[in-house]
Amino acid sequence: MGQDYLVGAPGAPGQPPAFRFPGTEEVNPAEVFAGPGYTSPAPPSSTWARIAVIAAVLGVVPGISLLAVVAGHLALREIGRSHMSGRGAALAGLALGYIGVAVWLLVALVWSIAS
């Protein structure tokens, strides 16, 4: 039972066992099912997603785009496991990080051919 949200009286005679909503194993029902006029708190955002976006913006410095790619992947893993927010930021940092890595590889290739 614990923190799961149950429908029906558990253990009532002649009744089927209580139904558990899938995906509510880590949800606090006091916060989510508080009643009218109450809102549930916003989930915490991933710090790795913030790092990915910041590193992607600073990707004009060689090597920082790699940090954005690594932080973006770590953020997506963290968000998937812990139901945090920040998936859009993680994807943006990841995409910009890959673009930055491609641009820096292209610059290195052109520079090595030209010299």
Q: pLDDT at position 41, please?
A: 74
56, 92 contact by CB (below 8 A):
yes
Q: pLDDT at position 26, please?
A: 67
Q: pLDDT category, 3, cuts 50, 70, 90?
A: very low
72, 112 contact by CB (below 8 A):
no
pLDDT at residue 61 greater than cutoff 50: yes
Longest distance between any two alpha carbons in the chain, whole Å: 84
| pTM of the complete model beyond 0.85 | no
Instruction: Read off the pLDDT of residues 72-94 as tens digits, 9 standing for 90 and up.
Output: 999 999 999 988 899 999 999 99
Domain map of the chain by residue range?
Answer: 1-41, 47-114
89, 52 contact by CB (below 8 A):
yes
pLDDT at residue 107 greater than cutoff 60: yes
Gap between the Cα atoms of 99 and 5, Å rounded: 44
